[in-house]
Structure 1
Amino acid sequence: MRIRFLGTAGHSGWPAPQCTCSSCNKAHAERRLPLRVTVDDRFRIREAGVLGPVPPEYTVTPTPDGIRVEGADGGRLLYARSTQGPLPGGPPADARPAGSSVYSSAPEQQVDMVIVDAVRRPEVIGELRRSGVIGVTTAVVAVGGDHRVRSPQEFARRARLWGALVPGDGTVIPCPPAVWPESRPRGPHRTLVTGGARSGKSREAELRLLAEPKVVYAATGPVPDAEADPEWAERVSRHVRRRPWWWRTEQTTDLAVLLRRTRGAVLVDCLGTWLTWVMGECGLWEEDPPRDAEERVEAAVHDLLEAWRSTQAYVVAVTNEAGSGVVPPTRSGRLFRDHLGLLNQWVGAESEDVLLAAAGRVVELP
């Protein structure tokens, strides 16, 4: 089969008509029409089904994952479902946050190509990898870009992280494909995301792992207590609700053990909170700390670094950039700033990628 992308953007195109937002201004150089996909130039396929009569040599099947097309040449295409809602065969409702996807967890047959609206619900890629629909030889095609993303370049960057192709209008891709996108990062691979408060660092870390079939979310903060601290409990709840339903959360401060035993992908949020706990356990917050407090902190940091170096997982860790302001007025503030700054340097030195988040944007640090 030959899949032709006559348009590749969201329903309004990119730039959208009469829109003067910064994203649309940046998209003028490479205009994209609203999404329109045809199979062998004989019929059109979309998320809701097909338009036009389907020749007898093709099989079109609605599935819980989307619309599946099989051609006479054996090519297998899936136009992935991007809407949410109950579907037969999904995981039990109490096993996932409210409003999450319910794609079937039963084994599915791998296809040759998957078309995904990567703006509406990019986590569909991870869901389909988890269920086996997307395998190592499946070409993932990311479409639907529009001004919900700040630029075409940003859309392409995200697609590369997810192991997806971004076709231009008029592109024809054979199914089975002749080429695949560059491989996405896989373990062992380490990424450190740093930035100030509300800089977008946690969202960037989560975005990088949306297409992974298995993710452990290592939460290093205190277990939320709605009665003692309702604001913290609500903050944690918001974080949980925006994660894909199949991510597994581990509330832990023993990061070294987790990094040594875990395979797949790990998101650590965050190193600053972990260091706060370590310094407290070692007595550094006390007015008269134990004589061996610094040595114990150093030992814990060394153990974490050894685990970070030897991990076999794809790890994305979030940390705080605490040294950009004035010198803290308290002893504890100065201690934390100094220890965290050194920890960030050491972890960054052992990482393939280090990113700085600021004002919701990300800069890769060479």
Structure 2
Amino acid sequence: MELTLLGTGAPEGLPRPGCPCASCAAATGDAARAATALLLDGALLLDLTPGAAFAAARAGQSLTNVRQVLLTHPHEGPAVEVPTGVPQPGRVADGRELALLDGHRVRAVAVDVPGTGYEIGGTYGERLLYLPPGAAPAGAAAEGKGPYEMVVLDVLGRPDALARLRANGAVDAATDVIAVHIDHDTPPGEELHRRLAALGARAVPDGTSLLVGEYHAVPDLPRRTLVLGGARSGKSVEAERRLAAFPDVLYVATGGLRDGDTEWAARVSAHRERRPSSWRTAETCDLVPLLAGEDETGSGAGPGPGSGSAEKTADSPLLIDCLSLWLTHAMDEVGAWDDETWANGGERALHARVDELVAAVRATRRPLVAVSNEVGSGVVPATPAGRRFRDELGRLNASFAAECEHVLLVVAGQAITLRG
């Protein structure tokens, strides 16, 4: 099957009409995107959008051979004119299958928003899944048929949809994941492609033609990532974003709870509320067993996909937030805050713990994203204990980063790639 993306943008397009935001201002040339519409083998049109005939002509295609037009979601605004010779568009009831005269097989897939997704089968057995904007499958999209060759969906708006598809085997490492319905919520320029690559997806310009089932090197996902940043820099959000499209994530909170500290409780609650509901949580500083693939069933572990399955847990991603709190706990346990204890074995004991953690990071087979504070750029701490913590955190960050394929520094919400 040949797929031509006549548009790849949100229903209002990009730039949005009259919008003064930075993303819209930068959406020129290949970065400008019409509302998403797909043309398959010149015969099947998914979503009829304004200017579809002109978009096809710019892509070297024609709508004269279109035999079926299927809509995926309710279209607001003025009615779209149907080009001369093109059939009237329609919707297919969820679960219904069509065998089209041109050889395509179409199955309507239920989604969790108003609209319908479509699974398209080609003459050689290749399969494509297309979902409307803001949608995720309402059930098991693959129905045991194995992974799709290509999935076209709202990756940035609904990364959890991609996580669901991965969880039920509809998407694997060889599936070509194409992001569409792209809106102005993503910063302009290379940030779009960087965010998509972190999720195992890619975006292409309007008018691009792709062969469904043709090999395409999917983005190389790093196994280990360290996200550094200062206070309120956005480092935790960046770390969470990198795993939003993956199932069975175990969020490891090293801070725990603090009795009577309402401000800290509010911080913890805010973190929990923005995580996907399918993620599990473990509140622990015992990181080495988790990196080795063992599950954490202690305080804070919640239900979620894969919980109770040691085999699945051994491969599920870890998000550790954060290393600075882990270091605080380790220094508490070895008595590192006391000068005399530090000089008489505390330093050696702490370094042994750091070495053990770093060795576990090197050996882990689990996807890992860890968060840590980048300190030392401001005022020198006034106490020996404060300076000791600053120095040890710097050493920990450097040793941890040396074992990671990807290292990011987040400044004012902007992620700067240091490695990878």
TM-score, normalized by the shorter chain, greater than 0.5: yes
Q: Report what 2:180 is aligned to.
A: 143
Q: For residues 162-199 of structure 1, what are the alpha-carbon distances to aligned partners after superposition, in whole Å with 9 as ceiling and x for unaligned?
A: 22231211112222x3132434325xx32211010111
| Conserved 8 A contact 2:227-2:408 | yes
Q: Report what 1:205 is aligned to.
A: 239
- Greater shift in the superposed pair: 260-269 or 46-55: 46-55
Q: For residues 289-327 of structure 1, what are the alpha-carbon distances to aligned partners after superposition, in whole Å with 9 as ceiling and x for unaligned?
A: 463222211111111111111112221111001111111
Identify which of 190, 207, 220 aligns with 2:224: 190
Q: Is 2:205 the partner of 1:132?
A: no
Distance in structure 2 (CA, Å) of the matches to 1:270 and 1:281: 17
Identify which of 154, 157, 178 aligns with 2:214: 178
TM-score scaled to structure 1, two decimals? 0.85
Distance in structure 2 (CA, Å) of the matches to 1:289 and 1:64: 63
| Conserved 8 A contact 1:58-1:71 | yes
Distance in structure 1 (CA, Å) of the matches to 2:40 and 2:137: 29
SS of aligned partner of 1:277: helix
Distance in structure 2 (CA, Å) of the matches to 1:77 and 1:259: 36
Aligned partner letter, 1:222: G
1:203-352 matched pairs, under 5 angstroms: 203-223=237-257, 228-261=260-293, 262-286=314-338, 289=341, 291-352=344-405
Q: Report what 1:96 is aligned to.
A: none
Identify which of 37, 54, 58 aligns with 2:104: 58
The CA RMSD over aligned residues, in Å, is 2.7
Distance in structure 2 (CA, Å) of the matches to 1:208 and 1:86: 21
1:80-119 matched pairs, under 5 angstroms: 80=131, 83=134, 87=138, 109-119=146-156
Distance in structure 1 (CA, Å) of the matches to 2:137 and 2:169: 20
Unaligned runs of at least 5 residues, structure 1: 90-102
| Conserved 8 A contact 1:259-1:313 | yes
| Conserved 8 A contact 1:165-1:180 | no
| Conserved 8 A contact 1:201-1:318 | yes
Q: Which has the higher strand share?
A: 1
Aligned partner letter, 2:285: T
Unaligned runs of at least 5 residues, structure 2: 48-71, 75-87, 92-97, 112-116, 294-313
Question: In the TM superposition, what is the alpha-carbon distance from 1:270 to its structure 2 partner?
Answer: 0.6
Q: Is 2:129 the partner of 1:78?
A: yes
Distance in structure 1 (CA, Å) of the matches to 2:279 and 2:254: 16
User: Using CA pairs below 8 Å that are at least 6 residues apart, which structure has the higher relative contact order?
Assistant: 1
Q: Report what 1:28 is aligned to.
A: 28
| Conserved 8 A contact 2:163-2:247 | yes
| Conserved 8 A contact 2:173-2:218 | no
- Greater shift in the superposed pair: 61-70 or 346-355: 61-70
Q: Report what 1:2 is aligned to.
A: 2
Distance in structure 2 (CA, Å) of the matches to 1:178 and 1:313: 29
Question: In the TM superposition, what is the alpha-carbon distance from 1:83 to its structure 2 partner?
Answer: 4.1
| Conserved 8 A contact 2:228-2:373 | yes
Distance in structure 2 (CA, Å) of the matches to 1:60 and 1:178: 20
Distance in structure 1 (CA, Å) of the matches to 2:340 and 2:354: 22
Distance in structure 1 (CA, Å) of the matches to 2:142 and 2:288: 31
Question: In the TM superposition, what is the alpha-carbon distance from 1:52 to its structure 2 partner?
Answer: 4.6
Q: For residues 194-222 of structure 1, what are the alpha-carbon distances to aligned partners after superposition, in whole Å with 9 as ceiling and x for unaligned?
A: 01011111111112222333422221111
Distance in structure 1 (CA, Å) of the matches to 2:327 and 2:192: 34
Over 3 Å counting, the alpha-carbon distance change for 1:85 and 1:140 in structure 2 is closer
Identify which of 48, 68, 77 aligns with 2:73: 48
Q: For residues 100-159 of structure 1, what are the alpha-carbon distances to aligned partners after superposition, in whole Å with 9 as ceiling and x for unaligned?
A: xxx789856422211111221123222211111112332111112221111142111122
SS of aligned partner of 1:213: coil
SS of aligned partner of 1:164: coil
- Greater shift in the superposed pair: 320-329 or 232-241: 232-241
| Conserved 8 A contact 2:174-2:218 | no
Over 3 Å counting, the alpha-carbon distance change for 1:211 and 1:364 in structure 2 is same
Aligned partner letter, 1:250: A
Aligned partner letter, 1:271: L
Distance in structure 1 (CA, Å) of the matches to 2:143 and 2:39: 29
Q: Report what 2:65 is aligned to.
A: none
Distance in structure 2 (CA, Å) of the matches to 1:203 and 1:274: 19
| Conserved 8 A contact 1:44-1:52 | no
Identify which of 350, 360, 363 aligns with 2:416: 363
Q: Percent identity?
A: 40
SS of aligned partner of 1:218: strand
Q: For residues 308-362 of structure 1, what are the alpha-carbon distances to aligned partners after superposition, in whole Å with 9 as ceiling and x for unaligned?
A: 1111222111100111111112333222111101111111222222111001101
Q: How many correspondences in the alignment?
A: 347
Aligned partner letter, 1:349: A
Aligned partner letter, 1:75: E
